[in-house]
Amino acid sequence: MYLAKLYVTHKPSILDPQGEAIKNALHNLKFQNVSSITQGKYFEMKLDNDNKKDAEQIVKDACKELLVNQNMETYHYDIKEV
Amino acid sequence: MYLAKLYVTHKPSILDPQGEAIKNALHNLKFQNVSSITQGKYFEMKLDNDNKKDAEQIVKDACKELLVNQNMETYHYDIKEV
């Protein structure tokens, strides 16, 4: 069994109004030292596979077919046996 | 300057209908090997601090005061100088 941790973030070229809104809220709360913040998605996925290569392929396919909007988002992941 | 990577997840005791919905969608797409999945939030925060201890305190306070619903969610973070 493998555990994949998957991080989905906006592509840097895409305008991030959500991050700007959070930054403004933090500045209003006196966290002036936060110079930038972006919010993305974080998935923890457990996979019933014995083979790391197969598990990685599932993670990539699941990102492509469901979890990631590849027009606007990019992702990276860590995978380890559990 | 420090970069904090912040991972916000549901507490395990909280029902996670979003994770169930994603799991069902993945199973319908023939990803039967995904035995569980949870979705959380992922923040990347840049901090204008020279001191790691101060930067960590800001991350913790920002979580407490804005970013994390401590009733339902838990968080962990990594912080490094950049």
The ipTM is 0.88
Query: In Å, what is the CA distance from B46 to each residue of A40, B19, B55, B82?
Result: 15, 29, 9, 9
Mapping DSSP to helix (H, G, I), strand (E, B) and coil, where does residue A79 land?
strand
Q: Which residues of A touch B44 (CB under 8 A)?
A: 9, 37-38, 40
Judge: B66–A26 Cβ closer than 8 Å, yes or no: yes
How far A70 CA sits from the closest chain B CA (Å)? 17
How far A46 CA sits from the closest chain B CA (Å)? 5
- Structural domain of A28: 2-81
Q: Are strands A34-47 and A73-81 parallel, antiparallel or unpaired?
A: unpaired
Judge: A45–B34 Cβ closer than 8 Å, yes or no: yes
Q: Which residues of B touch A26 (CB under 8 A)?
A: 62, 66
Q: What is the mean pLDDT of each run of 10 residues along chain B (82 residues)?
A: 96 91 96 95 95 95 96 96 94
Q: How many domains does chain A have?
A: 1
Give pLDDT, residue A15.
Answer: 87
The CA distance from A14 to B66, in Å, is 24
Give pLDDT, residue A79.
Answer: 96
How far A76 CA sits from the closest chain B CA (Å)? 12
Give pLDDT, residue B64.
Answer: 96
Domain CATH code at residue B56: 3.30.1280.10
Terminal-to-terminal C-alpha distance of chain B: 6
Tokens 């990631």 belong to which residue? A68
Query: In Å, what is the CA distance from B14 to each residue of B66, B70, B72?
Result: 20, 12, 7
Q: What is the mean pLDDT of each run of 10 residues along chain A (82 residues)?
A: 96 91 96 95 95 95 96 96 94
Give pLDDT, residue A28.
Answer: 96
